[in-house]
């Protein structure tokens, strides 16, 4: 039987408070900042459980980190994520959903789950980047 601990609750809360996707590490430090002395391993375990139970959605960022977000079971939408500051904008397009499904079906695939997310630099970070170039 799953037990109800404040740690799980904290992770769940912080996850749903987050606008879009958050990394386990990010969520952990956010919790620490909020005063929770929760352990990193616990955060990982809680997130893994949430994902398993279907309460969280996860995807891999281009950098190879696992990102999680609270799963609004009903409808699913996609995100525009700033790779610098983490700003997330929700974008939803039924057209794309259909496209994905059809494209899969066209090739005989079933149980298609798509990963459609756009990583970029938000306006603010773009400005910063041009002010202080990386290279």
Which residues are annotated binding-site positions for Zn(2+)? 82, 85, 122, 125
State which of residues 29, 39, 89, 93 lies at the interface with DNA (CB under 7 A): 39
State which of residues 12, 42, 84, 97 lies at the interface with DNA (CB under 7 A): 42
Spatial contact of 69 and 17, defined as CB atoms under 8 Å apart: no
Q: Give me the least distance between CB of 101 and its own copies, in Å please.
A: 9
Does residue 44 bind its own copies (CB under 8 A)?
Answer: no
Spatial contact of 78 and 96, defined as CB atoms under 8 Å apart: yes
Query: What letter would DSSP give residue 70?
Result: E
> Cβ-count burial of 102 within 10 angstroms (0-12 exposed, 13-18 middle, 19+ buried)?
exposed
Q: How far apart are CA 66 and CA 106, in angstroms?
A: 30
State which of residues 60, 72, 76, 128 lies at the interface with its own copies (CB under 8 A): 60
Looking at the Cβ atoms of 41 and 105, the one nearer to its own copies is: 105
Q: What is the footprint of its own copies within residues 100-119 (CB under 8 A)?
A: 100, 103-104, 107-119
The tokens of 61 are what?
């960022």
Secondary structure (3-state) at 89:
strand
Residues at the site binding DNA, with contacts judged by CB under 7 A:
1-8, 23-25, 37-42, 44-46, 48, 64-66
């Amino acid at each position: 039987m799953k037990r109800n601990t404040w740690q799980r609750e904290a992770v769940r809360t912080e996850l749903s408070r987050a606008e879009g996707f958050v990394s386990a590490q990010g969520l952990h430090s956010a919790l620490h900042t909020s005063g929770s002395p929760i352990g990193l391993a616990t955060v990982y375990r809680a997130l893994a459980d949430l994902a398993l139970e279907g309460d969280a959605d996860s995807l891999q960022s281009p950098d190879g980190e696992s990102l999680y977000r609270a799963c609004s079971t009903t409808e699913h939408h996609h995100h525009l994520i700033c790779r610098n500051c983490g700003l997330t904008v929700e974008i939803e397009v039924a057209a794309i959903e259909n496209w994905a499904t059809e494209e899969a079906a066209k090739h005989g695939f079933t149980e298609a789950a798509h990963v459609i997310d756009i990583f970029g630099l938000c306006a603010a970070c773009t400005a910063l980047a041009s002010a202080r170039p990386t290279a």
